[in-house]
């Protein structure tokens, strides 16, 4: 059984004194909250309903990350019908001579800074 839950992710921390001794420590934790900015994906034990391993945590702004993770955990027996947008955009970008973003005419974002297509285009430039 898999889980996909929205909430807040808090990183753990350690405070170390001048001698290298740990004086304070807090563990990383995830608190569920529909208003949270993080999404956790993982596997639950069918009997105990407890996670079987640490969950993978994504920002809620990265649906490709958490949904592809959930799809891998579901391990469908048949091929999915989800297009491989990464390959499509990389090929289009390479075919157009690396001059324009292939999503330019469909995008309403003011900048490319946080755009996954922009990151894919940078990967093509590096190849």
What does each of the 127 residues of the chain score in pLDDT, given as a tens digit? 999 999 999 989 999 999 999 999 999 899 999 999 999 999 999 999 998 998 999 999 888 889 989 988 988 777 767 677 777 777 777 776 655 665 666 666 656 666 777 777 777 777 6
Per-residue confidence (pLDDT) for residue 25, from 0 to 100: 92
Alpha carbon dihedral 65, 69, 75, 81, in 10-degree steps, equals -10
**pTM (2 d.p.):** 0.59
Whole-number Å distance between alpha carbons of 12 and 40:
16
């Amino acid at each position: 059984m898999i889980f996909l839950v929205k909430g807040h992710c808090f990183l753990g921390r350690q405070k170390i004194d001048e001698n290298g001794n740990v004086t304070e420590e807090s563990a990383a934790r995830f608190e569920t909250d529909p208003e949270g900015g993080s999404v956790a994906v993982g596997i639950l034990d069918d009997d105990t309903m407890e996670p079987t391993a640490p969950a993978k945590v994504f920002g809620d702004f990265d649906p490709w990350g958490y949904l592809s993770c959930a799809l891998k955990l579901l391990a469908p027996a048949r091929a999915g019908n989800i297009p491989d947008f990464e390959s499509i955009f990389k090929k289009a970008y390479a075919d157009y001579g690396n001059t324009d973003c292939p999503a330019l005419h469909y995008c309403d974002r003011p900048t490319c800074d946080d755009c996954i297509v922009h990151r894919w285009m940078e990967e093509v430039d590096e190849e």
